[in-house]
Each structure stands twice: as C-alpha cells, then as structure tokens.
C-alpha cells in the first residue's frame, strides 16, 4: 500500500509541476503504458498488453503478479551467472540445459525491443513515418515533449547544466582507471570497428538521422555501402577484394590505386592512404588492423570456395563469401565479444535454430539510444603501447605506417596485452576524447532523450531513488545533485557513465540491461539467422557452413597472419604482463608527424 501511495503522490506532484502544460510530461503511465493527453488537464493511459490495468497502469493482473513475485532482479540474475563457476561448468556440458538457458537469454532480451519500431525523434507517437522512414534512427522511448516544464518532463531544473561543466566535473579522467574485468584494447578497437557498420550518424541532417542504408550487420565497413564503392574495392577475379603486398604480407590497397574517398589529413603520404569499406578507418591503426584481417579473411574464404566450386563465377564467389563473413562476425560477437562483456560463467552460444520455434521477427532498426550508449570512450587509455614503443594520441592518429611497420601479428599481441579503461563509475574519459563525450550529451539534448531513470523503468529496472544510490559514493552524488537537482532529471548518457559499476565489472547495471537487448536483437534478427537462410547451401555447402560454425577471434587471427600466431583476446591474459600504468609518451617515435587530436576528433565526431 505504501508503494501505491508513493506513486499517487509522485503523480499528484507531477501534475502540479506541469501547471497546465502537457499532463503526459509527468510520465503518469507506468509499466510501458502509453500516455495520450486529453487537453491540458487530463490524460489517458493505454495499458493494452502490458500486464497491468488501472488509470496509470499500476495494478498488476493476476498472472503478472505471480510473474513479479517469482522473477529475480537483474542484479540477482547477474550475480548467479557470474558466480558458482563449478555449477556452470557442468551446465555448459549438458546440451539441452545450455540450449534452454541460451534460448531464454535470447528471447527475454530481444522481446524488450519493439519490432516493428514505434517512434523517432520527430514523432513521439506511432506514425507510418516513424516506421517506414529508414533515414531516421528509431526510438525506444518518445522524446520529451517541447511543452514540458523542464527538459526532463517535470523533474529537475528548468535549464540543463552546461555540457562543459558536466564533462569536466563528472567525466574527465583524473587518473587512468583500468577495467577490473581486464578488457583489452583488442576489444576496444573491435567494438569501434564492428559498430561503425550501423552507427553512421548523418550530422548534416542531425543526430537523429543515419547515413546507413541498412540497420544491422551487413559488413558495409568491409565492402562499402554504395554499390559503386563496392565495385571499386573488388578485384572482379575469383570473388576477391583488391589488395597490395607489403614485405610479403597482404594489406588494403591505396586511395591512388582504387580512387575511393577516404578521410585523411593532408600530411599523410599517398603510400600510406589505405582504402577500405569505411571511409574513416584510417583514423587509428587499430581500425585498419581489423580491416586488414577481414580483407585477408575474405580472400582466404574465396580461395576455399573456388576449390570447392570451380564452376562458380566471380559474382557468386563474392556474394557467398560475404554471407560467410557475416556469419563469422555474428558468432565472434556473441561467443567472444558479448561473452567477455557479460562476465558470465555460462557459455553463450550462437545457434539460430534455438529461435525457430519462438515468436521472433528477422528485422532490425538501430535506435538513437543504442547509438548513444555505445560511446564507450573511457575504454581508451592515455597512450598506446606497441612492443617497446609508446605512442601519444598525436602520434597514433592517422598513422597507418604503424600497421605496416609492426605487422598485424605484433599489433594483435600488443593490443591484447594493454588493458582498457573502466566505462562506468565516472571520471575516466581521456582528455583527448572528452569533446566526443560532450558531443554525445549535446546530441542527446537535441533529440530530447528522457532521463536515465525513465530508461531504467523501460528496461525493467527499479529507478534510482537518490544520487548516492546511482553513484555508490558521495562526492559525485553531490556534484550531480547540484547540477541536476533531482535524480529523475539525470540525463541518460551522463547517468550511464557515472553509474556505479557492478562488482569487478566494466559497466553498471543500466548499460548492460539496456545494451544487451539491442545487441542480441540486432544480431539474431539478421536474415542469415532466419530458417530460410540458416542452412549449409546458403554458405556454399558444408565447407562454408563449417567456417561459420567454427569461427572465433583467435581462429580469425591465426588464419590470416604469417608465422607464429599471437594470442588474440578481448581479455588481458595476465596482469603482470599487461600494460596497467601510463608511461611517458616522450619515448615514442618523436620523428612521426604529429597532428592535433582535438581538431581531428572534432572533425570526425560523427565517425566515433
């Protein structure tokens, strides 16, 4: 009864705060109920299929009440999955148990994402435009109405705090905080490389729009998005992509050879202007390293298919290889990348057949919220360690010579050994990339995102009740209170970065519980995971299907380097061998032409 009374009081005070404005500003409809204003003084909540009823969708139906009483909290589930290693080792070896748990993980997460999409930044209500206009990122929660008393509805100050002050007080790194999960830079660069195929903000139109033609995993960052670019990158022989050989190893061709646009500053020599599917991947050697690995993998798979199908023409070899690489990518993301992030002892499994008997739609739309929350710039260290050298940001940016000088082998080895920063907990964004975090906050305001607490409720988490509850400490809590005034007014992106991390984890609860549904829906909603596509013939027969089903990060690297294969891991293997501290970058290649990272990053914000 006390809970219902507090809800009533909250709604009553919210209605007073609205002062004749849109009554939906106080978010009166709970549990995913949809609010419709009826003039300036009344509203109605649509509780259809929410499992709740009543004026504000707060009264649980009978079966909902049972479900609530039995369902553990997200933190309880996380605790169970990250402890009891002996038990999970047994479960991982019992196929039907592992499959049942993995099926539940996929369905419970994916069903949190609306499909088809419901909103975008210009339509806070359902419309055909919000559904059909693919130039928009979709939205999980509608934007805060422009006629609300405060930027977050009714909570907080009437004006949001200055972005620069928020960034400097709450986000700027004082001292590098290593990730307690021992995430490596190999992971950080993979995250950046992988997501840039679908996070392609069109800053000419605004942050609510995407330049992408597709809202999922299609490897356009390898093959190019436009057909014209793809054709210029292709060799048109045996299905392969164009390449050059440097010191006996395969690397991407140059801009002068292919005549494809890439983003390089004037000082980069023509011989170092490599060209790949994504025009911004010359930015850092970590991106070009992955681009090189995937180029080699494409041509390697083409050779395998050519032997298996000598009668196939160039086009069929190319198209089938692309499908195989899409499959490899999804398997690596689920079984290596998401597995590492989760910290679970339960072994995740990529098996599309687990969903064939479930209610599931094989389509996906990238949301603005997913695009925003994935700005994980605290991962970046203060400088970059490659073998015995240390590179500052000025020396690292647009320096593709690092790739050819050290080779893929040594970059993989070095990036696997260097630890990345912790994302949650606040105050861990390196000064060189702080302006990118600031831009994320500015763009969030342009799109009128709802508060962190609003998103916690949307993804079945309890809202934070105080600033200390959010941060787990007192100092940043006091700063947040001064800046925002009300815990229900803390912005989504700011909240995600200052939120207390889970124990020994890289992220806080909200980042995981929001990010996982978007990620798994996008991966498993790919057409190749559908019953029509998921069969050996799609991938050129058993040989191609086996390449997909046996893919791993380690295998991807080992198949595409010469000589001894280095350890390739998203997890720093041994603390004493990893780079945990910042070394003075003055020992780096001082002869390397330096560029101003702040200027470059400002120009390339939409690419980060």
223 given a catalytic annotation: no
Instruction: Please tell me the distance from the alpha carbon of residue 493 to that of residue 292, in angstroms, as a whole number.
Output: 33
Name the E strands within 11-163: 34-37, 43-46, 52-53, 59-60
| Both tokens assigned to 188 | 């950080």
Cβ neighbours around 504 below 10 Å, total? 11
Q: Count of residues for the chain?
A: 608
589 given a catalytic annotation: no
Active-site residue, selected from the candidate residues 78, 193, 196, 215: 196
Instruction: Please tell me the distance from the alpha carbon of residue 521 to that of residue 530, in angstroms, as a whole number.
Output: 13
Instruction: Please tell me the distance from the alpha carbon of residue 493 to that of residue 451, in angstroms, as a whole number.
Output: 9
| Spatial CA neighbour of 119 closest among 99, 98, 133 | 133
DSSP notation for 241-300 = BP-EEETTEEE--BHHHH-------TTS-GGG-B--SSTTTTSSHHHHHHHHHHHHHHHH
Crossing angle for the helix pair 401-417 and 185-195, to the nearest 10 degrees = 120
- Kindly list the distances between the CA atom of residue 319 and the CA atoms of 177, 316, 424, 538, in Å, as whole numbers in the listed order: 44, 5, 40, 10
Chain-centre distance for alpha carbon 450: 19
| Both tokens assigned to 526 | 């790919």
- Kindly list the distances between the CA atom of residue 463 and the CA atoms of 13, 59, 71, 282, in Å, as whole numbers in the listed order: 18, 18, 17, 41
| Both tokens assigned to 277 | 């599917």
Residue corresponding to tokens 């991947």: 281
Q: Is 364 helix (H, G, I), strand (E, B) or coil?
A: coil
| Both tokens assigned to 504 | 């020994």
**Contact criterion met (CB below 8 Å) for 511 and 423:** yes
Active-site residue, selected from the candidate residues 52, 123, 362, 374: 374
| Spatial CA neighbour of 111 closest among 51, 65, 69 | 51
DSSP notation for 313-360 = -HHHHHHHHHHHHHHHHHHHIIIIIIHHHHT-SS-----GGGGTTS--
Residues with active-site annotation:
196, 374
């Amino acid at each position: 009864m006390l809970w219902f009374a507090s809800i009533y009081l909250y709604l009553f005070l919210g209605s007073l705060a609205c002062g004749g404005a849109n009554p939906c500003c106080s978010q009166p409809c709970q549990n995913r109920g949809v609010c419709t204003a009826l003039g300036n003084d009344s509203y109605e909540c649509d509780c259809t299929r929410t499992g709740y009823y009543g004026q504000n969708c707060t009264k649980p139906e009978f079966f909902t009440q049972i479900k609530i009483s039995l369902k553990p909290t997200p933190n309880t589930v996380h605790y169970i999955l990250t402890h009891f290693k002996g038990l999970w080792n047994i479960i991982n070896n019992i196929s039907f148990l592992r499959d049942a748990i993995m099926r539940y993980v996929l369905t419970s997460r994916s069903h949190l994402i609306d499909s088809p999409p419901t909103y975008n930044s210009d339509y806070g209500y359902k419309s055909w435009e919000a559904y059909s206009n693919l130039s928009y990122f979709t939205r999980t929660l509608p934007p805060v109405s422009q006629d609300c008393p405060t930027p977050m509805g009714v909570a907080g100050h009437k004006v949001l705090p200055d972005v620069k002050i928020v960034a400097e007080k709450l986000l700027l790194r004082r001292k590098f905080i290593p990730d307690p999960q021992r995430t490596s830079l190999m992971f950080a660069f993979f995250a950046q490389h992988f997501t840039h195929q679908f996070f392609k903000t069109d800053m000419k139109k605004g942050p609510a729009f995407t330049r992408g033609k597709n809202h999922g995993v299609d490897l356009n960052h390898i093959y190019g998005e436009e057909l014209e670019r793809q054709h210029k990158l292709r060799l048109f022989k045996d299905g392969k992509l164009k390449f050059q050989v440097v010191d006996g190893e395969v690397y991407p061709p140059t801009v002068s050879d292919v005549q494809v646009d890439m983003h390089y500053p004037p000082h980069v020599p023509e011989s170092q202007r490599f060209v790949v599917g994504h025009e911004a991947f010359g930015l850092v050697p970590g991106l070009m390293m992955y681009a090189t690995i995937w180029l080699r993998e494409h041509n390697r798979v083409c050779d395998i298919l050519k032997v298996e199908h000598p009668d196939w023409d160039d086009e069929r070899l190319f198209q089938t290889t692309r499908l195989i690489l899409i499959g490899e990518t999804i398997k690596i993301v689920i079984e290596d990348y998401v597995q590492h992030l989760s910290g679970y002892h339960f072994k995740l499994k990529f098996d599309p057949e687990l969903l064939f008997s479930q209610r599931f739609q094989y389509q996906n739309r990238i949301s603005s919220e997913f695009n925003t929350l994935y700005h994980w710039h605290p991962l970046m260290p203060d400088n970059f360690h490659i073998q015995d050298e240390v590179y500052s940001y000025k020396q690292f940016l647009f320096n593709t010579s690092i790739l050819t000088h050290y080779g893929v082998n040594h970059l993989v080895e070095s990036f696997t050994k260097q630890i990345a920063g912790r994302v949650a907990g606040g105050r861990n964004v390196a000064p060189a990339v702080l302006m990118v975090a600031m831009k994320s906050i500015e763009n969030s305001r342009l799109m009128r995102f709802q508060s962190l607490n609003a998103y916690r409720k949307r993804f079945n988490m309890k809202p934070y009740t105080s600033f200390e509850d959010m941060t787990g400490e007192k100092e940043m809590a006091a700063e947040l209170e001064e800046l925002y005034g009300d815990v229900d007014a803390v912005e989504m992106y700011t909240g995600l970065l200052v939120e207390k991390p889970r124990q020994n984890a890289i992220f806080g609860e909200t980042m995981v519980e929001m990010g996982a549904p978007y990620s798994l829906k996008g991966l498993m909603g790919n057409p190749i995971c559908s019953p029509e596509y998921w069969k050996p013939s799609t991938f050129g027969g058993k040989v191609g299907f086996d390449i997909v089903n046996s893919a791993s990060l380690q295998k991807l690297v080992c198949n595409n380097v010469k000589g001894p294969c280095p350890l390739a891991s998203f997890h720093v293997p041994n603390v004493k061998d990893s780079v945990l501290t910042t070394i003075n970058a003055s020992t780096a290649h001082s002869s390397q032409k330096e560029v101003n990272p702040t200027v470059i990053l400002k120009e390339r914000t939409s690419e980060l």
